[in-house]
Amino acid sequence: MKRIFSIVVSCVAILFFIMSYFFWSSFRILKDQEKDEWGMYLYITITVTSLIGIWLWKLGKKLRVKSLEERLKVDLRSPILYLRSFQDDKIGSKSLSDSILMKILPKSIPHNVVSEEEQIEMVMSRYGPFIAIGNPRELLPQLGAYRTYTTNESWKNEIINLIGKAQLYILRVGKSEGFWWEVRKVIENGEPEKIIFLLPKKKKDYLEFKEKIDKLLIVPIEAAYIPNETMDYSFGGVLWFNEFWKPEIQAFRFRFDNVNYTLASDLQKLLQPVFDKTYSKRKLSSISKRFLAFIIDVLFFTISIVIAVQILNRIFTSSEAGLGLLIGGVFYYYFYFGVIDGVITNSLGKKICKIKTKDKEGVPISLYQGGLRAFLKFLSVVSPLFIVSLVLVFLKKTSVHDKLTRSRVFEE
């Protein structure tokens, strides 16, 4: 029922966006005809309908948000933990302009439908589920990180538990005692390469943070940090460490183009050295393992089809059995090589050889990618593409279906 209501709310939001665009078109026509007496009223109407549409759109998204527990059931990757002061959630919920809407909608219509925290989640979700402890006072979950809720008595135990499970820690610099308790726990965990701070945009706030953090670190921060206070983002840069606690700072650069860039794209660029170092540890599967897994899967698939033929021939006539086998065989092929082998990455051959199919960033592939992989794999076997695939596998440990679906086969 809640999901249906959220869809209805989102549909109403879209109607308000359409109304805003209609009013804007009317405003332009009246302006061209020099009928300015209605212009002010239409402009106010455009603003009101747009703001109502944005509010309803966000409400619809909040009603559809999954809890942390629900997310971790379907996303088995190690989580990325987001730590911050609850009072900074208001900053994270600040909406930023959406680059796509800025390109297609008039400038007078608000484009800020995606919050800052959502854009951070867009980056982090490529590498793992982005999770956080939620504020127990909020009626609906904040958009961005997947949240779990706890009490004042047990939140510290929950944080310690999540720190032990997380692959990265994203800390938005705050001033509360709770936040600094979390900072101490993360540092005590002894894995500096997992720590990323979102630094304050104001120089004064950064210097206060530096004074406190230097007392906790083995190596004090000496790198220069010159934040760009004119940026639309609430934080000015990032701080991370290598395995020896040596700090590295990157600040956002000023730019004039606000249409083709977003916080998500800028943050991805700043943190790319961290992601490259952290996820370069993934090792591509060897040719022998891939070949052995393929042979095992083909044998298993063939044996399954042979058994199915014997069963169908006993139940149906040969013509009926042939049609049923053809239809069933296509679906079974897609399910085994597309879903089980691709999306679930748990086919018999890959399980025995301890290899898995993921996208280039190590994220589980989608149903579309899995289906396309299965189709291209079939073409590679029955067409001249087989030679091309064979050459690619031997030279670059990748195949035609790997290349065209942006996926790779990694060692577990």
Write out pLDDT tens, residues 268-289. Answer: 888 888 887 776 556 777 878 8
**DSSP three-state, residue 285:** coil
Query: Whole-number mean pLDDT of the chain?
Result: 78
Structure-model confidence comparison of residues 177 and 394, the more confident one: 177
Write out pLDDT tens, residues 149-158. Answer: 988 888 899 9
The pLDDT assigned to 188 comes to 92
Q: Where are the beta strands (DSSP E) in 44-162?
A: 80-83, 95-96, 114-115, 130-133, 146-148
Residue 19 has pLDDT above 60, yes or no: yes
Centre a 10 Å sphere on the Cβ of residue 271 and count the other Cβ atoms it contains.
20
Percent of the chain with pLDDT over 70: 78
Q: Read off φ and ψ for residue 135, nearest 5 degrees.
A: -75, 120
**Is residue 68 classed exposed, middle or buried when 0-12, 13-18 and 19+ CB atoms within 10 A define those classes?**
buried
